[in-house]
């Protein structure tokens, strides 16, 4: 122990480590700091995707989480403005931190506009590299997703006991409604369509009017709705059923989002239940899937390690095909809790958890995975077409 350490025994010093991951159980993992200087508390998860790190770190569904990438080389293609997924740049909360194995190299990609480290700093995201991410992933697989503090201090000085106390004191995602921190403050119209060689296009007027309830919606979901022929209006998460109906929608989309679905459901479920009674076509993704399940009397439960990655096989019982999908969720719908008018449509082939449902007496369906993330790459795009066809049928019945 050095003289300085003897004077301040509650502080930790090391010649190389400039970042720490301090778990709630007291374990301290060392690394090199990157991104923003400071500290952040959250739930540590791992993501198995080999690409799309910028989309992952700007997905509002990751609010409250520290993302560990299992792929070792993250940041090598830099960052750009087109790959940001949050549609709300003013969102007050998002991903809490990022953990990667290898140091970030200079960007090597024709689309790169900014170095990954500079981008992390600009967004206030604390990062750590040099950690054994395989060992951390194994820990999560065996023990579940831990609460932790990620800290970056260029001088390598940390009050470890204070960080341990902060990690222990954080209540975790169960019982936490994070949607208010990521939803839009005001409604707005979305017109941008899917990517083309010339970039993103204006979708123009669509055949169907869709209201997208924003629990933390991703841009590419809105783009694919527009591409499918929808004129999209985004509504804040707390928008009433009356305000939604006043927009005369042909259909309602329930978006992805972060946090405990049971907490968000306290204000979202009554709205969805009212819309279901009126037999308005509904399509939900991720948190939107869980909201639909809760609205019909189902239940959700916390998962041990969650699903985070772009290589998840899902069986579609409607088509009989297996899709390779992108997932990001730490809660799941309990299929045994679904009522008799709900039919399971998709199931994870990794662990058998529920990944989709449809109602037999209402025009409504939803999926747990992210069809817009395109890991297949287009295995699940048919879901947007299915939504449009549902609106077409309901319009024909009403005429």
Q: 77 CB contacts (<8 Å, ≥6 apart)? A: 107, 108, 109, 111, 112
For helices 261-277 and 287-295, the axis angle rounded to 10 degrees is 60
SS3 at position 56: helix
Strands 282-285 and 251-254: parallel
Q: Is the dihedral of CA 128, 134, 139, 145 positive or negative?
A: positive
Q: What share of the chain is helix, strand, coil (3-state, %, to 5)?
A: 25, 35, 40
Residue 372 annotated in active site: yes
> For residue 246, what are its two tokens?
């006043």
- SS3 for 77? coil
Three-state SS at 229: coil
User: In whole angstroms, what is the distance from residue 129 CA to residue 132 CA?
Assistant: 9
Write down the catalytic residue from 286, 289, 323, 355. Answer: 286
Catalytic residue among 152, 289, 312, 370: 370
CA distances to 254, 255, 350 from 82, in Å: 23, 20, 32
Q: Which of 39, 85, 323, 372 is catalytic?
A: 372
DSSP line for 347-392:
EETTT--EEEEEESSSSEEEESSBGGG-SSSSTTTHHHHHHHHHHH
Residues 6+ apart with CB under 8 A from 6: none
Listing from the earlier edge strand, what are the strands of the sheet with 188-190?
A: 188-190, 230-236, 208-214, 251-254, 282-285, 364-367, 354-359, 342-348, 299-316, 321-334
Tell me the pairing of strands 354-359 and 342-348.
antiparallel
> Is 47:69 a contact under the CB 8 Å cutoff?
yes
Half-sphere exposure of 186 (CA within 13 A, CB side): 2
**What are the residues facing 324 on neighbouring strands?**
313
In the residue annotation, 286 being an active-site residue is answered as yes
- Give me the active site residues, please: 286, 370, 372
């Amino acid at each position: 122990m050095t003289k300085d350490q003897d004077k301040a025994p509650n502080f930790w010093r090391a010649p190389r480590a400039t970042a720490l991951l301090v778990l709630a159980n007291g374990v301290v993992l060392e690394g090199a700091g990157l991104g923003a200087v400071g500290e952040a508390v959250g739930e540590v998860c791992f993501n198995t995707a080999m690409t799309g790190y910028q989309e992952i770190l700007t997905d509002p569904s990751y609010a409250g989480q520290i993302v560990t990438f299992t792929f070792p080389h993250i940041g090598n293609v830099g960052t750009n403005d087109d790959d940001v997924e949050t549609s709300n740049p003013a969102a007050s909360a998002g991903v809490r931190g990022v953990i990667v194995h290898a140091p970030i190299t200079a960007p090597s990609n024709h689309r790169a506009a900014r170095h990954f480290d500079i981008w992390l700093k600009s967004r206030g995201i604390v990062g750590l590299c040099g950690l054994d991410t395989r060992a951390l992933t194994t820990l999560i697989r065996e023990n579940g997703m831990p609460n932790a503090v990620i800290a970056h201090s260029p001088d390598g000085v940390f009050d470890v006991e204070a960080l341990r106390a902060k990690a222990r004191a954080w209540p975790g995602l169960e019982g936490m409604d994070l949607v208010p921190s990521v939803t839009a403050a005001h409604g707005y119209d979305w017109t941008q369509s899917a990517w083309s060689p010339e970039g993103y296009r204006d979708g123009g007027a669509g055949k169907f009017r869709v209201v997208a309830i924003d629990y933390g919606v991703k841009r590419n979901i809105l783009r694919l709705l527009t591409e499918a022929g929808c004129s999209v209006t985004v509504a804040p998460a707390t928008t009433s059923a009356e305000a939604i109906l006043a927009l005369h929608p042909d259909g309602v989309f329930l978006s992805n989002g972060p946090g405990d679905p049971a907490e968000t459901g306290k204000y979202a479920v009554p709205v969805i239940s009212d819309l279901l009674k009126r037999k308005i076509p509904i399509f939900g993704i991720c948190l939107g899937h869980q909201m639909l399940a809760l609205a019909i009397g189902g239940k959700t439960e916390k998962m041990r390690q969650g699903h985070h990655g772009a290589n998840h096989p899902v069986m579609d019982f409607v088509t009989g095909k297996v899709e390779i999908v992108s997932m990001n969720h730490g809660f799941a719908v309990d299929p045994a809790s679904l009522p008799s008018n709900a039919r399971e449509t998709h199931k994870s082939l990794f662990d058998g958890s529920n990944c989709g449902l449809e109602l037999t007496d209402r025009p409504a369906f939803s999926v747990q995975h992210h069809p817009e993330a395109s890991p297949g790459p287009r295995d699940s795009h048919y879901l947007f077409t299915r939504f449009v066809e549902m609106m077409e049928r309901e319009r024909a019945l009403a005429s």
